[in-house]
Structure formats: structure tokens, C-alpha cells
Amino acid sequence: MAGLKRVLTLRTVVATSAGLTLASSSFVAAAQVAYLVAGDSAWLAILVGGLLCFAAAACFSELNGLYPSAAGIRLYFARAFSDRLGLTTALLYMAVVMSIFGVESYVLAAALSQVVPGVPPIVWIVGMVAVVGVLNIRGVKLAGGFQDAVTYLLMFSLVLLGVLALARGGFHLHAPLTPGPLGNFGQAVALGIFLYIGFEWVTPLAEEVTKIPQISRGMMVALGILAVVYAVFTVAMSNVLPHSELTSTAAPQIVFARRVFGFGGAVWMLAMSVGASITTFNAGLIGISRFAYASARELALPPFLSRVSRWFTPWAAIVTVCVLGLAIAAAVLYTGRYRVLIDLGAAVECLVYALAGLAVWSLRRREPAKDRPYLAGRSLLLPLVTTVVFLALGVSIFLTDQSALFYLLSGLLVTFLYVVYVVPALRRRYGRRPGARRRASRADVAENR
């Protein structure tokens, strides 16, 4: 069976890491961060959230250096804790990241309805998913090139729009260094984590990059660029819109652009929203399909998902993720429950980052002699601080949104039952086949390189 091909460069790793986080739903989260703090001080919460994500990225870099595999966090947590915990966490996390497709769909629909009300939102969504699906099947290099162009243009446009909006007001800021009550600021930081959600989903590309260290470098560079982009744009948005308008719409970016630049600005922002959704769908599809491919290769998911096309891409996983993404998008469009998914995504992200810090600590004790190309600090201070801080941030979100906690517990139950009952059945049924044994052998070689 054909494997994946090493063709991706640092530029595409940065674009993929940044592209998944830079979504239309990020504008909603940015507006919520600005709403929680006073004046134009949202940039402080965004900066703190970015610095915390740097700590998490350092942990993921060490883990990826130990086990550069398309299996990603499933493999890290399996080696650090147990195979059952690793697979349960990874499958739940994959489901939550896929739910962001639904949030994207709703936010994009709200943006389109303000500028192009005559076209049903589902038409745009099906079109985008079809385009990125074909690009991904045709070749990761082609999909990566598309990701590069759209992501870098989008980030430049957002910074330019933010600077122009601030320039129109003479760069006069309202209380930029006074965020207000500490409790509100803590919630803003926790929600600000959502702005960076998914940056680590480039780790499943470890079998397709030309050099393994590009994964860690790409995550760090992407986080730095995103912190600047989000800070500039959010400060501009909070400077222009009253607090009461920041959370009164599912498309605050369109309201902001129309307020500053008129209808032309709204059209420009709509184009950027579509671009943001495309990069999210594309980057999410690249990362999640590789994880599904690796899991199927190990018989943790149905083995047909490990099929590879003549372009060295996991076509079965790509098609499956596209279909599931459309189903989730339709569900969110129908129910309108998108805010809870933002809170759920931010909270689960925090918990996964906490586990990443704990995994670094565990593997340093279990495998002290194993070569580590990258260290998350020479001592265990950074990994342990990462665990404590992100655990506290995740709990704080659940305390303010109990429905997100309900969805998390329900998801945990479903994935746990799947891992306990379905995975063993898959391995009993397919594990004795010669092809399955060859795939498992190749997976072990890849994971221990």
C-alpha cells in the first residue's frame, strides 16, 4: 500500500497552522473577548492567550520530536498514559475540531445574508467543501499551495483593515491598558484561547514535511503572526463598535467593516470571511484526514479510511471528513447553537493542552534516554505550568457554560464506549489479514523513527 509523500515546506506548515485557527468564527470569539474587558484592552487578553499557547506549542514540539507520526496526539497520549486514554482523547478532540465546521457555517451564513441575501448559505458551504476536497485529493502540495496563498493574503488584509480603521479615528484608544475586573479578564483569556484553536493540528503532517523540525518552527511562527493579527483587528473592532453591539450579531466583522468603510468595506470583509472559512475547511481537512488515515492504519477506525490515492493522499479519509463536515454544518445552521460550540472548543482545547504538558512530564520519566530533538525547557517547570494554567482555564469556561460541560461529558461517554467495544471488534475482524499486518508494521516503523 502506498504511503504519504514528503513535499511540504515550512511556509505551508505555518499557513496550515494559522489557517485552521484563522476562521470566520474567530471574529465572533474576538468580539466576545472585547466585550468581556473594558475599553480597547482586548489585545492584552489576546497576548496572554498567545503566550500560553506558546508554552503549549513547546510541549507539542517535544512530543512531535519524540514521535513524528500522522497519529499525532493519539500516539503522544498513548505512550504517556495508555492506549485507551490516548485514543479516547484524540477521537473526542477530532470531533470537537470538526464541530468548528458547523460554527464556521453559521457565522459565514450570517455574513453572507447581510451582503448577498439571495443565495442559500448551504450552497456556499457545499461549494467550498467540494473545492477543498478536490484540492486535497489531488495532492497535498496543491492543497498546501492554495492554503499558502489564501492564508497569507487574509492575514495581511486583516491587519491592513484594522490599521486603516484606527487611522480614521486618529489612533485614539479608550483605556488600552485597563482591562477591568480580574474575573472578566480571566474569562477573556480563556475565551481568547479559541482564537488559536487547532494550531497544533499540523503535527499529523509529520510524515509529509521535508524536515521534521519544521513542525515546531511552523507552530511558533504561526502563533506569533496570529497574535499580531488578532490584536490589531480586535482593538480596531472594539474601538469602532459600542460594547452593546459586539455580541449582538453572529457577524460582528461585517457590522464593523460597514460602519467604517460603508458597503464596499462590508463586501471586502465578506470576501475575507469566505477566505477565512476556506482556510479553516482546508487546514482542518488536511490535519483531520491525516489523523483518520493514521488511526485507520492502526485499526482504531474502519480500515478503508487508510486508502491512499495515486497522488499519495488519503482520499477515503478526505471524502469521509467532507461528508461529516457538511452534516455538522447543516445541523448548526438548523439549530443556531453556535456559541456553545465556541465555548466547548475553547474548553476542550485547554484540556488537551493541559494533557500535553502532563504527557511531556510522563514521558521524561518513562523514557529518559530517548532522543529529544526539541525540549520544552530543560526542567519540568514549563510543562507543569502549562498543565495547571490550561486546566484552570478549561474549568473556568465550564463554570460559566454548563451546556458545554454537558456536551463534553456526552462526547466522552460516546468515544469511551467506541474505544472499549468497537475498536477491539475492528482489530479482531481485520487484524488477522495480511494487509493489516503490513500496515501495522509500517506504522510502528514510522512511529519509532
Does the pTM of the predicted model rise above 0.85?
Answer: no
With a cut of 90, say whether residue 144 has pLDDT above it.
Answer: no
232-265 pLDDT, tens digit per residue, is 999 998 888 887 777 777 778 888 888 888 888 8
Phi, psi angles (nearest 5°) of residue 209: -85, 155
Closest CA to 37 of 160, 189, 194: 189
Distances (CA, A) of 139 to 104, 154, 218, 285: 24, 23, 20, 12
Q: Which residue has the higher pLDDT, 80 or 399?
A: 80
Closest CA to 6 of 63, 70, 71, 94: 70
Confidence category of residue 388, pLDDT binned at 50, 70, 90: very high
Q: Tell me the mean pLDDT in the region 158-174.
A: 87
The Cα 91–Cα 88 span in angstroms is: 5
With a cut of 60, say whether residue 434 has pLDDT above it.
Answer: no
The Cα 17–Cα 294 span in angstroms is: 19
The Cα 253–Cα 98 span in angstroms is: 23
406-419 pLDDT, tens digit per residue, is 888 898 899 999 99
Confidence category of residue 443, pLDDT binned at 50, 70, 90: very low
Q: Which residue has the higher pLDDT, 292 or 8?
A: 292
Q: Provide the CATH number for the domain formed by 10-447 in this structure.
A: 1.20.1740.10
121-138 and 83-115 are packed helices; what angle lies between their axes, rounded to 10 degrees? 130
Closest CA to 24 of 238, 239, 233: 233
Confidence category of residue 437, pLDDT binned at 50, 70, 90: very low
Helices (H), 169-302: 182-192, 214-240, 243-246, 252-297
Calculate the average pLDDT of the chain: 80
